[in-house]
Amino acid sequence: MDTLSPAQRSERMSRVRGSHTKPERRLRALVWRLGHRYRRSGTAVIGKPDITFIGRKQAIFMHGCFWHRHDCANGRREPKSRLGFWRPKFARNVARDMEVQDRLAAAGWRSLVVWECELRDEVVVSRRLREFLDA
């Protein structure tokens, strides 16, 4: 059972940002420090990646572990209530992520997914970004 009233739950969920989150901003700062200039994606690219390099056909996605079901402690965590709603929602998110990756590859794009928990080690993420962007 939910411990919050519907109005309180609505207010709390309205605070969950969909874009320009702290992890996204940290990722963009890493890309910038590596000397790469990018575009924040709009609707022009399949799947609306967080960072795009249109001329090179490269896209970077910043996935939150909880929402995109990463295999880490945060990604394995489940809500305590309304599992009938949340489990299908998470399954749709994962299925959509795979579909977007397939569609981008079919259109000739290379893509990279960076997970929120990976930002704890910026050295490793910087190395992955450098390998992806310089390839």
- At 20-75, the pLDDT tens digits run 789 999 999 999 999 999 988 767 899 999 999 999 999 999 999 999 999 999 98
CB 114 within 8 A of CB 125: yes
**Is CATH 3.30.230.70 the classification given to domain 16-134?**
no
CB 67 within 8 A of CB 93: yes
**Structural domain boundaries of the chain?**
16-134
pLDDT at 15: 77
